[in-house]
Each structure stands twice: as C-alpha cells, then as structure tokens.
Structure 1
C-alpha cells in the first residue's frame, strides 16, 4: 500500500453527524486502499472519545485541539492579515509541524485535503499530488448570509465572502484537483474560478442506504397524537436555525389551521437559544441531542427542509428519501439534487406554498411525494460505492 496524507478541518467521526458523514465515508474508502496518515482538528470535547478508533484505522494520526476561544482569537488575526476569518482560525503551528514531519518521514506521494481551510498547509505539501475537497463553495454561502443580515453583520459577512472567494481561487491554483459536493456546485465553482475548470469535479455526496432503510425496525419516539412533522440537523448551524424559526413561526400556524393536531419536532444537537425559544410555541418540540435521528425520521408523517440559505446536497433530505418518507423542501434545499422527477419530493418556497404541500401530505391528498419513488432515486444516484469512484480517478490519474 502507498502512504497518503489526509488533512481535515474537523475529526471525520462520528458518521451520524451531518458535517462528518462525507469526510468519514471518504476516510473509510481511502483507508482500504492506502496507509492513511490523518491530521485533523477537534473543536468539540465530546469527540476525543473517537480518537482510539481512528488510530486503529490509520497508519498515523495527529489531533489538534481547537477550543472555541482559541478559534475566535485566531479568527481575529484574519482581520489584521486581510484574510477570511474562517481560514485564519485553522493556522496552527503544531499541525504545520506534524504535516512537515510526516511528509519528511513517510514521503507520501499523495495528499487529500478536506475543506478549504486546510489549504493553509499547502506550502508544506510541495511535490505531492494534492486533491482538495472544497465540499461547497463556501464563499457563496457567506454571500447568501450577508443578504439575510443588516448593519455590521452584513458588512462582516460580505467581507468573508470576498476574502474566502479569493482564498478558494488561490487554493484551486495550487492543487491538482478540486472536488465539490454536487455537479451544480462544481459548475458554480468552474464559473467563479474558470482557470480551475479543467480540474474541478463533482464527488456527489451520498447516503448509506442500508443504514437508512425502511426495512429496519425503529422504536417510535413520538408521544400519542400527531400527525408529526420533523426537521433533523445540527441546531447550532445558522441555516438550520433560520429554517426552523421560519417554519415554526410562519408555516406551522398555517398548517394547524387545517390540521389542528399537527406537531413540529426539531431534532438535533446543540439547539441555539433562538431554537430553544421555539419550544414555547403551540405544537413545537425541541429535542436537543438524541441517540438516533432514524427513529424520528421513520415515524414522522412528513420530513421538511425549509432552508432559505443552503449549499450543496442536504444529508437530511437524502436520509429521509432513503427511508421512503414524504419530503417537502425549499428550492435552496433541492438545488444540489440532480435527476429528480415529479412525485419524488415536493418543492415549495413561500410560507403559503410550503404549508399547502405539508398539509396535503398530512391529509393524504393524491399527487404528493411517493416515498418508494424517492428511495429509488437515492439508490440510482446517491450510493457511496459508485460515487467514490471519482475520488479514485483523481488520486491516480
């Protein structure tokens, strides 16, 4: 086996958290083909429990702690350096030393970098074939954030969009290949960085269709009553916070005018204060951290993804489709999905149209999303085994 250096901005485990699903499946795929030397950051103290498992999987590991205060202080240096704040916080002397020492000792021919922030270590990888998984065009995400803000926050987000956009282009010029989460996302990056168009590819994010299978048995977490509407995701992530606040305050009341017993469950760890406050609204439950989101998906009557700011492919949507659930999503949540056919999901963008679609699902009206058709789409387009072949091609051209 050859040696390969894998750098990630967060520990790629556990695989049931949205921002780690893709990085874990890639690591698992690479570890079966290379002696992987993994360097990553840990920003959640709970994640230290996973280091032993990763040490067994990899030929070498280095875990750099990144507590919130340190991250914020490093980000502030970005203001002085004229760089993106989300890049500055990942400049770490210990990580740089580990990268250099590993390259010198192991002499890998290939490096895989996950998320643009790890581009700060490219100068230590000279001579290696280097593949960068940007995942999303994050600079465009910050531009979307800016449009939803006002005052100083709008200016800050606009600055982040500009500086991160420049950094993404710089990284693309230094690496041998760039990967993105979907073909629409790859097309956007090619348009923004045309000089990298020839080495930009889509590695489509996928779902474990065995783990998320309707054939498995799942305990029912809901109390008697209903029907139940659910949203799953990390609830400290601003697009998710915005989505559930919009749904709970503006859409759910419209639904309950017609389906009075409808309940909305917000399922996910670390709910932000704005999310916790929603628990005081009629029909809204905020679960906080739970053992397994599949229980809630399996027994919900409708899954919603009313995202007004979104990038790439939404894991929450693929997971619900794989479990044959009727799904109602916004245009932003649908933009990364290719090949969708009528009847596989319902797409709605206004409060009124989303309320109408969810009400139709809950009332059993004809013409609503067909869960079996949704799973067939996932099986056809979103399996990890098939989609990870792109990674093999770019690593060994």
Structure 2
C-alpha cells in the first residue's frame, strides 16, 4: 500500500461532533487503500482514551495535546504577526517536527489535510505528494458573518480573522491538487473567490449513518411526550448553535406557546456556553448538556429544529433528524447543501412567525409523519457515506475503480455519533 499523511485539527474519534464525524469517515474510507500516518491535536483530555480505537486504521499515530487556556493565550500572538488566530491555536511544535519527519522519511504519495487551520503544516514543504485539503466550509465567510453580526469590541478581531483566513484559503487553492468542500454550494462560493483554481475545487457531501439513526429501534422517551417537544442538537459552545438556540428560545418559542402553552424546547449537546445555560431559566426550555445518546431526543420530537442564522456547509443535525424520520423545521441557511425538497421533505421558515407557525402545524396535525418518512427516503437515497466519499476517487485512486480496490478490514469498535456540531 502507498503511504498517506492525514492531518486533522482534532482526534477524528469518537464521531460525536461535525468535524469528527466527517474526518472519521474519510479516514476509515482512505484506510482501505493506504497506510495512514495520522497526525492530530487534542484539546480535550477526555479524547485521549479514544486514541487506541483508531490504531487498526493507521500505520502510526502522533497526537499532540494542547491546553485550551494556554492555546487561546498563545494564539493572541497572531495579532503581532501575519497569522490568523485560529491557525495559531492549532500550531504545535511537536506536531510540526513529526510532520517534517514523516514527509522527509516516508515521502507520502498523498497528503490529506482536514481543515484550513492545518494546511500551514505542509504548504511550504517538499515531498508531500499529491495534497488534498478538505476545507469543509468557506471558513472566511463564517468570520465575515461574525463580524457583521456583532457590535462588540470583537468586531475588528473578527474582521481581521476573516481577511487572514481568506488569504490562507487562496494559498490552499493555488497549492493543492484538490480543495474539497462539504457541498456544491460551498464549492461554488469558494470558486467565485478563487476563479483561477476552479478546476481543482469540488463539493464532496457529508453522509449520515442511517442504519444507526434508525427510527424503527426502541428509544425510551427522555421527556414528557404528551407535550409538543421541539429539539435542537449540537455542540453548544459553537457560536452559531448558541445564536440559533437563543433565537428559538427568545422569539420563536413564545409564539408557539401562545397557541400551545405546553410546548417545550430541548437544547441537546455538549459544552453549553454560559449564555446557552441561561436559556434554561425560560419557561419550557431545557438545556441538557452532553447526553449519552442523542437518538431518544430526536425520536420522540414533534420536530427537529435548525433555526440557524449563521450557517456554513451541511448541518449534520438536519441529516440525523431526517434519518430518524422526523420532520425538520429549518432556515434557508440550514437547508443549504442538503437535497431536501422544501415543504415535502423539510419545512423552510426564515422568520420567527413562519417558524412558529410551522412548529404549531406539526404539533396539531399528522403532516409530520409523511414529511419524516419522505426525509428518511431522501437520506437513504443520497447520503450513504461510501457513496458520497467516492467524490474523492479520481484524485485519490486514479485508474483504480472501487470494485477493484484492495479492501482492508477496519475492526474499529465503532462508537456512534451522539451529537452534532453544526
């Protein structure tokens, strides 16, 4: 087998949040044809227990641990240099040395980089082979949205980050054999920013494990199912998720409760920020924090909700709810990149009034049954991981059709997703 250097900003296991879900499935897919040298960072000490779970997929693994508080302070040095702050956060001397050694001694045929923040580890190195960067989203646009949405003292910092990340993205587009993004829409946006590199930019969609997110399984109800229950899942220290949860709790839920006083809103996901925790003080709002399994919350929901006002790429929370055959009410930003027919496979609503009306409709009619069933059919048809990741095949396995590839058994103890990040 040829060697492949795989770099990720966090250990791609367990697949419990958006960045880990996609990176894990890519790693598992590529391990069928390559000896993988995995380099990544850990900023959550709890993740160390999962390193051994990835060893069956990798020739070797180097994990560099960073302290979140120290890394945040260190990344501020970027204000004195030309670097983006988020790049500085993920810079680690030990990982730099390991990458240099792998490139010098192994000379990988392929270097696969997950996220723009990790690209500086290899952009200036020789002997990296064919380089593929999975940008996932056009990250610079997220920072631009943050800058436009805030009036706080952080606004100039966000604007600087927007410009610096955009510069890095341009370098990546010019340097790499392929720049991948999570949807055709994100790829088209990135190509508009980098028209001279359009031929090496493409969308490779996320998938979802619809066999795990199976509505036919039995799930004990985690809340009172005699009430209308609306569920939002995600990593709750991710600012766009916090904003979405706050908007639903403050502006949408009161409109629902005016017609359905018993309606409840469940915010399900790890690391709720202080602002998100305060939502728990509102009538009918429940902030769960980390849960062992997100499926019971989705399975018994009147609807999944994705009231994203700042959104990039594909929302895993939407795919998971659709896979569970639940109707989803979502904004246009949350629908972007997902091949769901509005009003038939998901309900589109961009104002608080429209969002509340859609939620009330699902609570008092049986419309959600047909919408949820259609949503699951869409997931099975369009979002199988092996099918979506074939979008890399012509670059990563030229001249080798999938049916002829040497298949490596991957006996990973598959700890399944329990939540999404975006």
The TM-score by the shorter chain falls in which range? over 0.9
SS of equivalent to 1:388? helix
Shift in Å, 1:365:
6.1
Shift in Å, 1:31:
1.3
> Separation in 2 of the partners of 1:260 and 1:125?
64
> Separation in 1 of the partners of 2:43 and 2:392?
27
> Separation in 1 of the partners of 2:264 and 2:201?
43
1:234 aligned residue: 235
1:34 aligned residue: 34
Matches within 5 A, 1:86-101: 86-101=86-101
**Paired residues of 1:346 and 1:368 also in contact (CA < 8 A):** no
> Separation in 1 of the partners of 2:31 and 2:25?
10
Matches within 5 A, 1:148-227: 148-223=149-224, 225-227=226-228
SS of equivalent to 1:20? helix
SS of equivalent to 2:310? coil
Shift in Å, 1:106:
2.2
Q: Which runs of 5+ in 2 are unaligned?
A: 399-422
Instruction: Kindly report the root-mean-square deviation, in angstroms, between the aligned alpha carbons of the 2 structures.
Output: 1.5
Shift in Å, 1:369:
6.5
1:129 has 2:162 as partner: no
2:414 aligned residue: none
**Paired residues of 2:307 and 2:331 also in contact (CA < 8 A):** yes
Shift in Å, 1:80:
1.1
- 1:213-254 C-alpha deviation (Å, 9 max, x unpaired): 112222211135412111000011000000001101111011
Shift in Å, 1:40:
0.2
> Separation in 1 of the partners of 2:10 and 2:78?
20
- 1:254-313 C-alpha deviation (Å, 9 max, x unpaired): 101111111111100111111111111100111111100011111111110001000000
**Paired residues of 1:190 and 1:196 also in contact (CA < 8 A):** yes
Matches within 5 A, 1:1-397: 1-122=1-122, 123-223=124-224, 225-338=226-339, 340-364=341-365, 366=367, 370-397=371-398
SS of equivalent to 2:120? helix
> Separation in 2 of the partners of 1:140 and 1:23?
21
> Separation in 1 of the partners of 2:41 and 2:10?
5
> Separation in 1 of the partners of 2:296 and 2:368?
26
SS of equivalent to 1:91? coil
Higher RCO (C-alpha under 8 Å, 6+ residues apart):
2
Shift in Å, 1:33:
1.5
Moved over 6 A (4+): none
With 321-330 and 124-133 compared, the bigger mean Cα shift is at 124-133
TM-score by length of 1: 0.97
> Separation in 2 of the partners of 1:358 and 1:326?
10
Shift in Å, 1:146:
1.0
Number of residue equivalences: 397
> Separation in 2 of the partners of 1:125 and 1:260?
64
> Separation in 2 of the partners of 1:278 and 1:20?
27
**Paired residues of 2:326 and 2:368 also in contact (CA < 8 A):** no
Query: Are the structure 2 counterparts of residues 347 and 128 from structure 1 closer, same or farther at C-alpha, using a change threshold of 3 Å?
Result: same
